[in-house]
Amino acid sequence: MTAVGTQYSSNRRDQLIEAAAACFDRDGFDGASIRRIAAEVGMQTASIYYHFEGKDDLLVAVHERGLRSIIEATSRAIEGIEPGWDRVQAACTAHLHTLLGEEPIFKAIMAPLPSTLGVREQIVEMREAYEQIFRDLIDELDLPDGTDRRHLRLILLGAMNWSFTWFRGDRSDIEAFAGSVVTDLRAPLDTGR
Binder of residue 173, out of a second copy, DNA, none (CB less than 5 to 8 A by kind)? none
* Cβ–Cβ under 8 Å, residues 99 and 110: yes
Residues of this chain that interact with DNA (CB under 7 A) are: 1, 10, 12, 32-36, 42-47, 49-51, 54-56
- Should residue 135 be labelled a site residue for a second copy when binding is judged by CB under 8 A? no
Question: Quick one: which of 111, 119, 136, 140 contacts a second copy (CB under 8 A)?
Answer: 111
Helix axes 11-31, 55-78, angle to 10 degrees: 100
Specify which residues 8 forms β-bridges with. 3
Question: Quick one: which of 115, 145, 168, 172 contacts a second copy (CB under 8 A)?
Answer: 115
What's the closest the beta carbon of residue 36 comes to a second copy, in angstroms?
Answer: 12
Q: Count Cβ atoms below 10 Å from residue 1 Cβ, excluding itself.
A: 7
Residue 174: partners with Cβ closer than 8 Å, 6 or more residues away: 93, 96, 97, 100, 101, 167
Cβ proximity to DNA: between 47 and 191 the closer is 47
Distance CA 95, CA 143 (A): 22
- Should residue 154 be labelled a site residue for a second copy when binding is judged by CB under 8 A? yes
Distance CA 14, CA 7 (A): 12
Q: List contacts with a second copy (CB under 8 A).
A: 26-28, 30-31, 111-112, 114-116, 147-148, 151-152, 154-166, 176-177, 180-181, 183-190, 193
